[in-house]
């Protein structure tokens, strides 16, 4: 029996020679030249230039003599973007395509900021992760996750070494500069080891903690052995160093500024003029306390900032002072009031503080040599700041969200601002309705952006934050990393052993 399939196969074989002799198919026509304007488009050209610049970047695998860690407290991705737009608009250029100084650094990463015990970190646990390589519990500074908040007993055996202490142990100099109290969580993360971040002075501590032998953070700064003590410490917080008789808050009657001056060539300054007058070649350790509490916001400088140095001025002077050590240095620079503006739902303060932070970074970049200086810019955590659509291109970032020039009206019949917060004092109180922002001056320095839920202070948020870097070892900043990994990058860049 002959199968139909066999007959079909035979027919195909017979037909094959005929098919082979068939006329060849015509060659495909060449594609017509592109008719769009892409090669001449401004975005296209900008992309080409960016690619050429990226191709020219090569890893610096050498050792770092110096490391400068810039920390924008609470400076999440939304804060960076909004500040970028704001800074450009203030200069009269396109804000959306603008770039802050640190956004131009070639090596970037995202940092996971959760703490040892919470999804969303506070500044104490955040800075501890960055400066020690160990994640700890919220409220704890310079101790491992085995320590418990407000427990003196748990401080025993849980101390972890900071990158500043490690630098000092290797003969380098170290410093911290901030716009907050120098005893506040982030700057304290370079030198302090405490189970409670709020124990900044002895007047902040309960009697049982004092009786148990816990030391306040100001004492830890001043009483550190000369070989480990910071060489430069600048910011606010004078009240934690002075007794009540000298307008301070110390309950023990001690004047820690006088004790600081006992070190050879030590200096204590309280004004921008005194700071500027310091001769780095003739000066030993410097304590600069320019306010009783935190330094004023930049928007308040015309009234409250007389005699107070800018963050850029403190940064450049710190570099001058620390650079006298031929072995090198470590420096932390904190834009601490970025966070405080966001805690108030006050976007104008947040953005202006971020712009000043960017200026300080640029001042440092203009001063150092990236061949031997590693610069890392990051944040300890983010905030609940949101940029909502759909304002027109170049519309004021502090204004109302709109569509084709008209404000977008929400379901309650009111417009909303481009910037808002998830939580904080801008939220409706007592179940009441939200205010109408079109009837308020949203550009006013004291305007509080709206929030979804009312809290006395805006809560931090837990998304990853950016990391920007250049210099020796900066190529190790890439991908999505743990916040504690940044310590390892700095340690490796110096060439320090894991356990000196």
Q: Please name the helix (run of DSSP H) or strand (run of DSSP E) that holds residue 72, with its range, or none.
A: strand 66-72
Distance from C-alpha of 315 to C-alpha of 180, rounded to nearest angstrom: 14
What whole-number distance in Å separates Cα of residue 63 and Cα of residue 494?
6
Q: What is the pLDDT of residue 29?
A: 61
Catalytic annotation present for 123: yes
Give the pLDDT confidence score for residue 405 in this predicted structure.
72
Check: CB of residue 413 under 8 Å from CB of residue 423.
no
Selecting among 101, 111, 123, 144, the annotated active-site residue is 123
H helices present in 34-120, as ranges: 42-55, 77-91
pLDDT, residue 500, reads: 39
Position 19 scores a pLDDT of 37
What is the Rg, in whole angstroms, of the alpha carbon atoms belonging to the chain?
Answer: 29
Contact 59, 493 (CB under 8 A): no
Could you list the pLDDT tens digit for every one of the 500 residues in the chain? Answer: 444 444 333 433 333 343 344 455 566 565 555 556 677 899 999 999 999 999 999 999 999 999 999 999 999 999 999 999 999 999 999 999 999 999 999 999 999 999 999 999 999 999 999 999 999 999 999 999 999 999 999 999 999 999 999 999 999 999 999 999 999 999 999 999 999 999 999 999 999 999 999 999 999 999 999 999 999 999 999 999 999 999 999 999 999 999 999 999 999 999 999 999 999 999 999 999 999 999 999 999 999 999 999 999 999 999 999 999 999 999 999 999 999 999 999 999 999 999 999 999 999 999 999 999 999 999 999 999 999 999 999 999 999 999 777 899 999 999 999 999 999 999 988 778 899 999 999 999 999 999 999 999 999 999 999 999 999 999 999 999 999 999 999 999 999 985 53
Q: CATH fold of 60-384+461-494, please?
A: Alkaline Phosphatase, subunit A (3.40.720)
Q: What is the pLDDT of residue 27?
A: 62
- Extract the runs of DSSP E, i.e. beta strands, from 324-445: 329-335, 373-378, 382-383, 385-387, 402-403, 406-407, 419-424
Q: Three-class SS string for 139-160? A: CCECECCCCCCCCCHHHCCCEC
| Comma-separated ranges of CATH 3.40.720.10 domains in the chain | 60-384+461-494
pTM: 0.92
């Amino acid at each position: 029996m002959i199968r139909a399939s066999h007959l079909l196969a035979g027919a195909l074989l017979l037909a094959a020679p005929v098919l082979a002799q068939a006329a060849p198919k015509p060659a495909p026509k060449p594609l017509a030249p592109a008719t769009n304007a892409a090669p001449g488009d401004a975005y296209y050209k900008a992309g080409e230039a960016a690619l050429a610049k990226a191709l020219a970047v090569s890893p610096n695998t050498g050792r770092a003599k110096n490391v400068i860690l810039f920390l924008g407290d609470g400076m999440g991705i939304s804060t960076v973007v909004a500040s970028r737009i704001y800074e450009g608009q203030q200069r009269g250029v396109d804000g959306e395509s603008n770039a802050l100084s640190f956004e131009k650094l070639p090596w970037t990463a995202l940092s996971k900021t959760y703490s040892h015990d919470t999804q969303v970190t506070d500044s104490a646990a955040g800075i501890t992760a960055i400066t020690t390589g160990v994640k700890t519990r919220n409220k704890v500074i310079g101790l491992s996750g085995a320590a418990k908040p407000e427990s003196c007993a748990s401080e025993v055996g849980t101390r972890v070494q900071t990158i500043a202490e490690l630098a000092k142990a290797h003969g380098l100099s170290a410093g911290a500069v901030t716009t907050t109290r120098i005893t506040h969580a982030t700057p304290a993360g370079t030198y302090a080891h405490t189970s409670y971040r709020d124990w900044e002075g002895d007047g902040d501590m309960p009697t049982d903690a004092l009786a148990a032998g816990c030391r306040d953070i100001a004492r830890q700064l001043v009483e550190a052995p000369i070989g480990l003590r910071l060489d430069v410490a600048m910011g606010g917080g004078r009240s934690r160093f002075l007794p009540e008789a000298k307008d301070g808050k110390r309950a023990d009657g001690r004047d820690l500024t006088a004790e600081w001056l006992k070190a050879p060539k030590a200096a204590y300054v309280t004004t921008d003029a005194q700071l500027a007058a310091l001769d780095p070649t003739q000066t030993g350790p410097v304590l600069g306390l320019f306010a009783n509490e935190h330094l004023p916001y930049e928007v308040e400088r015309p009234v409250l900032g007389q005699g107070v140095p800018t963050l850029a001025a403190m940064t450049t002077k710190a570099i001058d002072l620390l650079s006298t050590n031929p072995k090198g240095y470590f420096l932390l620079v904190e834009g601490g009031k970025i966070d405080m503006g966001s805690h108030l739902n006050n976007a104008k303060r947040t953005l202006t503080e971020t712009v000043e932070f960017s200026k300080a970074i640029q001042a440092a970049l203009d001063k150092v040599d990236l061949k031997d200086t590693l610069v890392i810019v990051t944040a300890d955590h983010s905030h609940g700041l949101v940029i909502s659509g759909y304002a027109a291109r170049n519309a004021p970032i502090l204004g109302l969200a709109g569509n084709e020039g008209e404000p977008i009206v929400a379901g309650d019949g009111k417009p909303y601002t481009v910037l808002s917060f998830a939580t904080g004092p801008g939220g409706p109180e007592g179940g009441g309705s939200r205010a109408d922002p079109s009837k308020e001056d949203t550009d006013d320095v004291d305007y509080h952006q709206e929030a979804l839920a009312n809290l006395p202070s805006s809560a931090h948020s837990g998304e990853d934050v950016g990391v920007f870097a250049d210099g020796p070892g900066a190529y190790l900043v890439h991908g999505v990393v743990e916040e504690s990994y940044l310590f390892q990058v700095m340690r490796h860049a110096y060439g320090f052993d894991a356990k000196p």
